[in-house]
Amino acid sequence: MDYQRLSDVMRRLALEAGERIMEIYSDKDFEIRIKDDSSPVTEADEAADTLIAEGLAQAFPDTLVVTEERAASHAQSARNFLIVDPLDGTKEFIRRRGDFTVNIAWVEDGAPIRGIVYAPARRRMFYTLADGRAVEEAGPFDPDTPGELRTISVSRPDNAALVVVASKSHRDAATDAYIARYEVSDMTSAGSSLKFCLVASGEADLYPRLGRTMEWDTAAGHAVLLAAGGRVVRFDDLEPLTYGKAGYENPFFIAHAPGVELKAD
């Protein structure tokens, strides 16, 4: 894979998808349907999916592209592949909260090594460069010309005063009970894959997820966090979370800065 070309293509497609999402977001009424798994999908999800999937297929015609909105892709597998969540945080989008993101990632030998997370309503964009560094780009988000880039890295956590980030829409008693096992100085909530990026940028130390997720939900944020020096491990055995699993379904996991003294299951 040509990582420079990959970075350029992912960035452009994420920005174009974000622009289309915001056009629909600004409408007073947009179409919402319920999928077979009982989760909502909007016309913004589908429009962004079409734009990204077609763009990736054109740029990388011999590469498997797995996307949330294309069920046929979920039955395919490859050693190396692209994986997309065109609008992560659909519930946040429907509720007109800003914590929804566009996510594109490249998985190589089970690890998400390149990715981009763009939150168009928050005007925040995190991604990996061709050389493997993780950056946050400042606006104005021109598709052809990157703005100012800031290299990001994880915090040096104080286990007596951790900053924890958790989900806005999927917080539950099990998650609260697990967080209570740590010494926490501050709690913050965020939607979608932004939680990974808050750990990657040093704004949080720990993000536990004790709930169902799919690989397209996590791959891009995971890639950014890895590039920033962080880790994502399975909740059950604290082994690295891998990709390309059957059905693309994740186990529970913990994203964290190295130095956090993880509590075993």
The string of pLDDT tens digits covering residues 109-124 is: 999 999 999 999 999 9
pLDDT higher than 80, residue 227: yes
Question: pLDDT band at residue 140, thresholds of 50, 70 and 90?
Answer: very high
Question: All domains of the chain, ordered by start, with CATH?
Answer: 3-151 (3.30.540.10), 162-256 (3.40.190.80)
pLDDT higher than 70, residue 168: no
Q: Is 36 left (phi over 0), alpha (psi -120 to 50) or beta?
A: alpha
**Which neighbouring-strand residues pair with 33?**
41
Q: How far is CA 182 from CA 154, 159, 175, 235, 258, in A?
A: 18, 8, 12, 15, 15
> What is the pLDDT of the chain when averaged over all its residues?
94
Question: pLDDT value at position 29?
Answer: 79
- Look up residue 263 and give its DSSP letter: P
Query: Based on C-alpha coordinates, what's the Rg of the chain?
Result: 17
Question: pLDDT value at position 167?
Answer: 80
The string of pLDDT tens digits covering residues 125-137 is: 999 999 999 999 9
How many CA atoms lie within 13 Å of 3's alpha carbon, on the beta-carbon side?
13
Question: pLDDT value at position 195?
Answer: 96
Amino acid at 254: I
Over residues 172-181, mean pLDDT: 91
